[in-house]
Structure 1
Amino acid sequence: MIRFENVTKRFPDGTEALKDVSLVMPAHQLTVIIGPSGCGKTTLMKMINKLEKPSNGKIYIDEQPITDLDEVQLRRSIGYVIQRIGLFPHMTIADNASLVPKLLGWPKEKKDARIRELLELTGLSPDTYMERYPLELSGGQQQRVGVVRALAGDPNIVLMDEPFSALDPISREQLQDELRNLQQTIHKTIVFVTHDMDEALKIADTIIVMKEGQVEQVGTPQQLIDEPANEFVRNFIGIERIRQKRAFGDKKLKEFIHLFDTEWQGEAQTIPADSTINEAFHQLEKNPSHRLAVTAGDRVIGYASGRDLLKAALLKEEEVAQ
């Protein structure tokens, strides 16, 4: 868990990038920080690994003040993915990805096994890519390597600063999906900065909405859509998204079976396929970490997560018809 307690960041020219911010980023969840340019979201994230230091207030990781932690050791224990990736062009993918394990003194066998495992998890064949160089890869493939490098030292926390914003829309959407799938396997505490509300709604467990150095609202994607804290949040999310959600909340689950997983192995509560999306949301609120087993008679025909329900609620009418 990462906790900010009355944190203010004041630059030498007097600009206050953060103003008395107090919040909690839950452990093992993907927290997205979002807001307009200049709102303080990147400054907030950079404070976690001491790239920026607060003028006032305290920051805790698992209830330990980070002021007590050595900067170098702290940064080696936190993965970091940036927009421009920053791979070294003269080094192979394996060498780029294993920088932190080398600094941590891992033996070669352990390093190689870790990189191979992570390349597989991110959809890159180790036999094909380990000995290639960054310029031989597409932008999306390079960004996957950036994620592998951030995870290579097995950090508990991973910071991601607009990592997909420079990619084309198709690559970006693929990597968003892969990040969600990856998180279900690795269960890291991920802090993800973006300016794209569609991206935030798609990937986040928790969203922090910021404006002018202050936190306007913290909540799940569904909470922000159902109960925006104020007019700024309502407008930033987009009135149209809220209208779409409410308009389609009475649609039956059976209309969206194509969106749901058919092979879920975890815990699930049953719900009839004739139930509405709103009814499903209300049932899932009791156990948001579970999924709903959508049933037709005695047969389970799909498993729906909260994110699946949100995606269904946001579909346009012509997309539902397909």
Structure 2
Amino acid sequence: MIRFDNVTKSFPDGTEALKGISLVLPARQLTAIIGPSGCGKTTLMKMINKLEKPTGGTISIDGKPIMELDEIELRRSIGYVIQRIGLFPHMTIADNVSLVPRLLGWKNERIDMRIRELLQLTGLDPETYLHRYPLELSGGQQQRVGVVRALAGDPNIILMDEPFSALDPISREQLQDELQNLQQSIQKTIVFVTHDMDEALKIADTIIVMRNGQVEQIGTPQQLVAEPANDFVRNFIGTERISRQRTFSEKKLKEFIPLFERDWRGDAQKVSSDTSIGEAVDQLAESTHDHLAITENGHVIAYASERELLKAALHKEVGASL
């Protein structure tokens, strides 16, 4: 858990980048920080690994104030993915990804296993890509390698600073999907800065909306769309997105089956595929189970968690893509 207590940040020119920020970033979830340019979102994220230091207040990780932690050790323990990727062009993909594990003193066998595992998780065949150089890869492939490098040392926290914003729309959407699937497997604490509301609504468990160095609202994607805190949040989300969410909430589960899980092994509450997304969300909220088992003609055809139901309700192009 990452905690900010009354954190402020002022620069020498008098700019107040952050004004008394107090919030908690939940562990093992993806939190998106969003807002207009200059709102303080990147400054807030960079304080977690001490790339920026607060003027006042306290930041703590798992109860330990970060200003008391060794700066180098802290940064080695946190993954970091940036828009420009930052791969070393003269080093192979294997050498780029192994940097932090080697600094941490890992043995070669462990490093090799970790790299291969992560490349496979992000859709890159190890035998194909391990010995290539960054310039031999597409932008999307390089960004995947950037994610792998951030995960290589098995950090509990990963910071992502607008990592997909420079990519073409198709690559960007593919990487958003990859990140969602990856997070379901690794369950890390991810802090993701973006200026794209559609991206935040799609990938985040929690969204922090900022303006002028302050937090305007914190909530799940569903909460922000259903109950924007003020006119700024409502306008930033956009009336079109709000209307879209309400429309999709009325659609039936059977229209979204490809978005849901097929091999859930735990207990689940059964619900008909003719149930609407909105009704399904309400039923799951009242249930003691974490998943719904979606049935058709008496047979279970898919499973859906609350996260997947909300993503379906917010998915902007699902009707066209299925």
- Partner of 1:70 in structure 2? 70
The match for 1:34 is: 34
Q: Are 1:172 and 2:172 an aligned pair?
A: yes
**What is the distance in 2 between the residues matched to 1:317 and 1:46?**
33
| CA displacement at 1:281 relative to structure 2 | 1.4
Aligned to 1:152: 152
The match for 1:126 is 126
C-alpha distance in structure 2 between counterparts of 1:260 and 1:42, whole Å: 33
Q: Which residue of 2 aligns with 1:293?
A: 293
Q: 1:59 to 1:235 in 2, by over 3 A?
A: same
* Amino acid across the alignment from 2:11: F
1:39-54 aligned within 5 A: 39-54=39-54
* 1:216 match: 216
Distance in 1 (alpha carbons) for counterparts of 2:103 and 2:267: 40
Report 1:227-242 matches (<5 A): 227-242=227-242
SS at match of 1:112: helix
Distance 1:249 1:30 in 2: 23
For 1:256 and 1:190, the matched residues in 2 are separated by 26
Q: Is the 8 A contact 1:256 1:320 kept in 2?
A: no
How far has the Cα of 1:316 moved from its partner? 6.7
Aligned to 2:96: 96
Distance in 1 of aligned mates of 2:213 and 2:146: 29
Q: Rate the CA distance shift 1:300–1:318 in 2: closer, same or farther, 3 A.
A: closer
- CA deviation after TM superposition for structure 1 residue 289, in Å: 8.7
Give the secondary-structure state (helix, strand or coil) at the position aligned to 2:37. Answer: coil
Mapped to 2, the partners of 1:318 and 1:184 lie a distance apart of 20
| C-alpha distance in structure 2 between counterparts of 1:70 and 1:85, whole Å | 25
**Equivalent residue, structure 2, for 1:278:** 278
Identical positions, percent: 75
Does the residue aligned with 1:155 lie in a helix, a strand or coil? coil
Compute the displacement of 1:315 (Å).
Answer: 5.7
Secondary structure, counterpart of 1:285 in structure 2: helix
Q: Distance in 2 between matches of 1:33 and 1:267?
A: 33
Mark the runs of 5 or more structure 2 residues left unpaired by the alignment: none
User: What do residues 105-130 of structure 1 show as CA deviations (whole Å, max 9, x unaligned)?
Assistant: 11211111111111111111111111
| Paired position in structure 1 for 2:183 | 183
SS of corresponding position for 1:86: coil
What is the aligned residue count?
322
Distance 1:294 1:10, change over 3 A: same
Q: Which amino acid letter does the alignment assign opposite residue 77 of structure 1?
A: S
More displaced 10-residue stretch of structure 1: 85-94 or 266-275: 266-275
Distance in 1, Cα, partners of 2:58 & 2:262: 45
Equivalent residues of 1:288, 1:306 under 8 A apart: no
Contact 1:119–1:145 (8 Å) recurs in 2: yes
Cα offset, 1:264, TM superposition: 2.8
Task: Note closer, same or farther for the CA distance 1:267–1:87 as it changes in structure 2 (3 Å cut).
Answer: farther
User: For 2:7, what is the secondary structure of its paired residue?
Assistant: strand
In structure 1, the residue corresponding to 2:251 is in which secondary structure? coil
Where does 1:102-141 land on structure 2 (aligned, <5 Å)? Answer: 102-141=102-141
Moved segments of 4+, more than 4 Å: 286-289, 314-318
How many Å separate the matches in 1 of 2:26 and 2:258?
Answer: 31
Amino acid at match of 2:142: Q
Q: What CA distance in whole angstroms lies between the structure 2 residues aligned with 1:34 and 1:316?
A: 18
Kept in 2, the 8 Å contact 1:78–1:159? The answer is yes
Shift of 1:320: 6.2
1:219-258 CA-to-partner distances (Å, cap 9, x unmatched) read 1111111111111111111111111222332333233334
In 2, distance between residues paired with 1:32 and 1:267?
30
How big is the shift at 1:267? 4.3
TM-score by length of structure 2 reads 0.94
TM-score with structure 1 length normalisation? 0.94
Per-residue CA distance 1:166-224 (angstroms, 9 max, x = gap): 11111111111111111111111110000011111111011111111100111111111
In 1, Cα distance between the equivalents of 2:248 and 2:18? 38
Query: How far did 1:318 drift?
Result: 9.6
Which sections of structure 1, spanning at least 5 residues, go unmatched? none
